[in-house]
Amino acid sequence: MSSGFGTLFRITTWGESHGGSVGVVVDGCPPRFPVDEAQIQAQLDRRRPGQSAIVTQRKESDLIEIMSGVQDGLSLGTPIAMMVRNEDARSRDYDEMRDKFRPSHADYTYEEKYGIRAWSGGGRSSARETVGRVAAGALAEGILRSAFGVEIVAWVDSVQELQCPPVSESVVREEVDQTIVRCPDLEMAARMIEHIEAVRKTGDSVGGTIRCLIRGVPSGWGEPVFDRLEADLGRALLSLPACKGFEVGSGFAGCLMRGSEHNDAYVADDEKRVFTPTNHSGGIQGGISNGMPILLRAAFKPVATILSEQQTVTVERENTTVKGRGRHDPCVLPRAVPMVESMVALVLMDHAMRQNALLIPH
């Protein structure tokens, strides 16, 4: 049951990278909300391989098919199944993988866990699995926007040493999409693109960080103790392929401050609306949103597939070497931006519903 996510707004994804299709069932979607196929497709297009020169050239149109749960453009409250057919699965590029484990991929661990694995294309561990997440996340995002005014914007914050300068809290997705690398600072974006292209030519890969800013979450979402908003968001992002770190608000840097510097004072304005002039908490205190923007950051390791020879073992546990072929991303970050936004939307949608369940008079 590890391909399911969420308590009330619950998704289940299916599909191997080189199987017939990848998809998702969304169970628990509230009724009578618009299901905008174009909006869902738009997020899938941002995730799609082949969208630019700096990502993998696998050719997938990734056209979404909505198979249930929608009538006349409105959600019925019943499961919404969505599917994308795989088109360009060149299994021949992967023949060597039948017998060898690619370093820092999941080939070896799947084999150790299950005693079997979809050796072609990485199976479920491929980033292709995220198609279903992004489709479901775009659906959730549409509801969060229309019902609560929530806005979610992620962007590439760093590529290896190249660090984007601080970004305005009013940043919008259009600014992020000005360049193919999805960094809203145009000068830094240009340097990042140049760097990724140089890395690609060497057959190597790079990683980096993504930031995400969420505006419009009302105070009171999230839960005490285990299902804290930051814990659920952390789990959501750490479940993305290649994600190795997560922080909220001040994060690791906050450890260098003293309490007197780090604490966010409360201030009430003339209409008794409460805010905090600083936001080291990143919009979450004690696991619950405080009405300030939520600020997240996630670390993505360099892509494991590289085009040079590496030491590894065969399925018979004999030492050997392997060399990446196939078509892969020198840098996963531009495509990971919609994945991050989608996972955030799924978490927030679930918590919005959980808060509504509390029978608190409106």
Q: How far is the CB of 55 from its own copies (least distance, A)?
A: 15
Strand order in the sheet with 80-85: 4-5, 10-14, 21-27, 80-85, 65-66
Q: How far is the CB of 218 from its own copies (least distance, A)?
A: 8
User: Are the C-beta atoms of residues 234 and 248 closer than 8 Å to each other?
Assistant: yes
Q: Which residues contact 1 (CB under 8 A, 6 or more apart)?
A: none
Q: How far is the CB of 247 from its own copies (least distance, A)?
A: 4
- Which segment (39-47, 70-78, 91-99, 184-192) binds its own copies by CB under 8 A? 70-78
Q: Does 197 bind its own copies (CB under 8 A)?
A: no
Q: How far is the CB of 48 from its own copies (least distance, A)?
A: 20
Closest CA to 336 of 299, 305, 307: 299
Phi-psi region of 248 (alpha: psi -120 to 50; beta: other; left: phi over 0): beta
Name the residue nearer to its own copies (CB basis): 29 or 173. 29
Closest CA to 233 of 301, 172, 284: 284
φ, ψ of residue 247 to 5 degrees: the values are: -150, 155
Rounded-to-integer distance, Cα 268 and Cα 276, Å:
9
Q: Does 270 bind its own copies (CB under 8 A)?
A: no
Q: Does 231 bind its own copies (CB under 8 A)?
A: yes
Give the H or E element holding residue 244: strand 243-248
Among 136, 150, 304, 344, binds its own copies (CB under 8 A): 304
- Which segment (35-43, 49-57, 177-185, 235-243) binds its own copies by CB under 8 A? 235-243
Tokens in use for 137?
């996340």
- 333-356 helix and 229-238 helix, angle to the nearest 10 degrees: 150
Q: Does 158 bind its own copies (CB under 8 A)?
A: yes
Name the residue nearer to its own copies (CB basis): 14 or 191. 14
Rounded-to-integer distance, Cα 288 and Cα 222, Å:
4
Tokens in use for 185?
């600072």
Name the residue nearer to its own copies (CB basis): 125 or 173. 125
Name the residue nearer to its own copies (CB basis): 166 or 259. 259
First-to-last CA distance in the chain? 35
Q: Hey, which residues between 87 and 106 contact its own copies (CB under 8 A)?
A: 101, 103-106
φ, ψ of residue 124 to 5 degrees: the values are: -80, -15
Q: How far is the CB of 73 from its own copies (least distance, A)?
A: 11
Q: Does 315 bind its own copies (CB under 8 A)?
A: no
Q: Does 155 bind its own copies (CB under 8 A)?
A: no
Q: How far is the CB of 52 from its own copies (least distance, A)?
A: 19
Rounded-to-integer distance, Cα 70 and Cα 79, Å:
9
Q: Does 362 bind its own copies (CB under 8 A)?
A: yes
Q: How far is the CB of 312 from its own copies (least distance, A)?
A: 4
- Which segment (55-63, 90-98, 179-187, 223-231) binds its own copies by CB under 8 A? 223-231
- Which segment (50-58, 170-178, 179-187, 225-233) binds its own copies by CB under 8 A? 225-233
Among 128, 213, 246, 326, binds its own copies (CB under 8 A): 246
Q: How far is the CB of 187 from its own copies (least distance, A)?
A: 20
Give the H or E element holding residue 189: helix 186-201
Q: Does 23 bind its own copies (CB under 8 A)?
A: yes
